[in-house]
Amino acid sequence: MKYISVLLLAAAFVSCGEEADVEQDIQTNNEIPTTEFNTKAAGGKVMMQAFYWDVPAGGTWWNTVQGKVSSWSSAGFDAIWLPPATKAQNGGYSMGYDPFDYFDFGSYNQMGSVETRFGSLSEIQALISAAHTNNLDVIADIVVNHNSGGASQYNPFTGGNTWTDFQPASGMFTRSYYDFHPNDYHSADAGAFGGFPDLCHDKQYVQDWLYNNSNSIAKYYKNVMGFDGWRFDYVKGFEPWVVKNFKNAVGGFTVGEYWDGNAATLESWANQAEASAFDFACYYRMRDAFMGNDLTQLNGDMLLKRNSYKAVTFVANHDTDEIYNHKLLAYAYIMTHEGYPCVFYRDYEEWLDKNKMNNLIWIHNNKASGTTSYLYADNDEYVARRNGSPGLIVYINNSDSWRERWVDTNWANTVIKDYTGNSGWEPTTQADTWVKVEAPPHGYTVWSVK
């Protein structure tokens, strides 16, 4: 999360003109009967991060997203991740990461507004219903490290006043200095954030309101609101068992934001939390590869290589959109490799070529299966093979000219084609399974059986 708005320059990103000019034979989801997509729970296809920092205020965002869920489902997404949906300290201006009332989805007049920044209770209910009608799971953003908006009260554990008196209009999960650090249990947990009151997860009262009670946050969000899964914010700030207990109380796809580029650290947290984690190791390796013009960085350690079932891969999100020229190349990487890809709203809806994004999503959902063999990497070129049925060969070329390379496939005497349409070749693999493929400058091709 972030608390400072930043100017996002669309000019910093690759335009569709920087990709190959060859547009023939591009396979998109619109060309395929929807029956080819098996309905799966979140984690099987592709997730949409359905917001960005400072989306338009004024209570219109839930309606905006609702208007897109049908097309997103048709494109091959299986889940949408929403921003924190309840009332925060800054009311109608807040992006939700300064939570005050966990049960006010836009129906109480507090913190200066009735609606949240994104809309009203009825509007988010309509959005969730529309998502479910279109076979999309809805992922709630859960912020339980810190709170904001409490009134000042004398705090005997600090000897002064703290902003820890929370009396939300919903009347649910009222809080006082006993529920934050320091308190009568201990002085701190894994980490505080931004000077906000730091919630104490060791307190039974806090645990009851988070996931134990029948009307706890977890059970209310699942059973009343209809959320299907959970994205936990700033999980460095509390112990992994908090996420584990929450998930065990209600089930559902669960992913944590553990912001660390060390794959082993991510794996350790994911194992302890029994949840997925955003693959920041993959993010940083891609940044180094494409910004540093060194595709050997893609051979580096990533969560997706350690445990692909717990890796949520991404190219950009609301916190970090520093990445880099040639974003489509990064999306070509995560859409053809193991892990659960997450697409950033503005990349899909505003900044990149949607037809090419849909093509990569189709490839992910229909061709990218099985284990991965890493075949070749140098500064400019990268080749990998997915070994499933039918599997694929992905060839990324970050040089200024077309490149060709002989590669070892899993197919003997088989005609293959490039499913991106960037190459018109349809070569036949040799009896020993080798074949020559090509890729355009600052582009990619994805080869599979015809």
Q: Is 78 a catalytic residue?
A: no
Q: What pLDDT score does 142 carry? A: 98
Task: Say if 239 falls within a structural domain.
Answer: yes
Residue corresponding to tokens 């099987």: 44
Q: What is the mean pLDDT of residues 400-405?
A: 98
- Report pLDDT digits (tens) over 319-371: 976 556 789 999 999 999 999 999 999 999 999 999 999 999 999 999 999 99
Residue 289 falls inside a structural domain: yes
What is the rounded distance in angstroms from the CA atom of residue 277 to the CA atom of residue 16? 30
| Segments of 180-270 assigned E as strands | 229-232, 254-256
Q: Look at residues 242, 260, 251 and name the one whose alpha carbon lies nearest to residue 268.
A: 260
In a domain, 4, yes or no: no
In a domain, 377, yes or no: no
Is 325 among the domain residues? Answer: yes
Q: In this structure, what DSSP letter does residue 242 have?
A: H
Res 324: pLDDT:
63
Give the rounded percent of residues in the chain with a pLDDT score beyond 90.
89
Active-site residue flag, 233: yes
Dihedral over alpha carbons 203, 218, 2, 351 (to 10 degrees) = 170
Residue 427 maps to a domain: no
Q: How many domains does the chain have?
A: 1
Exactly one of 19, 123, 228, 233 is catalytic; which is it? 233
User: What CATH code is carried by the domain that includes residue 294?
Assistant: 3.20.20.80
Please indicate, yes or no, if residue 421 is contained in any of the structural domains.
Answer: no
pLDDT of 19 reads 29
Model confidence, pTM: 0.91
- Residues that constitute the known binding site for Ca(2+): 145, 202
Percent of the chain topping pLDDT 70: 90
pLDDT of residue 326: 86
Task: Confirm whether 304 is domain-assigned.
Answer: yes
Catalytic residue among 228, 257, 321, 349: 257
Find the domain containing 344 and state its range: 10-368
